[in-house]
Amino acid sequence: MKLLLVSAVALIDTEGRILLAQRPEGKSLAGLWEFPGGKVEPGETPEACLIRELREELGIETEQSCLAPLTFASHNYDDFHLLMPLFACRRWQGIVAPQEGQRLAWVRAKDLRDYPMPPADEPLIPILRDWL
């Protein structure tokens, strides 16, 4: 089975809310909400992936020193296994704005269950709720 490495981030604002992005139409799991991030490219670290994805998807800049490893997801999908480290980030430059037409929502940890998520993301919710 193919292993897919995806890096994700819980962006946390000054009010303690977490940013979720809705998967756009045409992508697998379209309409579900997820933590921003993306596939780690060959030769790229999970942290470098997030810095690139945050720039491309949200128009913000951050640094590796602002990305704190928090937890990870390991989930079997039908045709691949997803391994997804989740980082926490409270410091970035710029204003968060969707660059790819995706919908965004700032959500309190206690309200994360109100947003339908991919199966791999769901086990991360209690960890974030306990941590924040």
To the question of whether residue 56 is assigned a binding role by annotation, the answer is no
Residue 39 is which amino acid?
Answer: K
57 is in an annotated binding site: yes
Give residues with Cβ within 8 angstroms of 48, minimum separation 6.
64
Helix (H, G, I), strand (E, B) or coil at 99: coil
Residues 88, 17: contact at Cβ < 8 Å? no
Q: Is 36 annotated as a binding residue?
A: yes
How many angstroms from the chain centroid is the CA of residue 28? Answer: 16
Residue 35 counted as an annotated binding residue: yes
The answer on whether 23 is annotated among ligand-binding residues is yes
| Annotated binding residue 98 | no
Binding-site residues from annotation for Mg(2+): 37, 57
Binding-site residues from annotation for 8-oxo-dGTP: 23, 34-37
Binding-site residues from annotation: 23, 34-37, 57
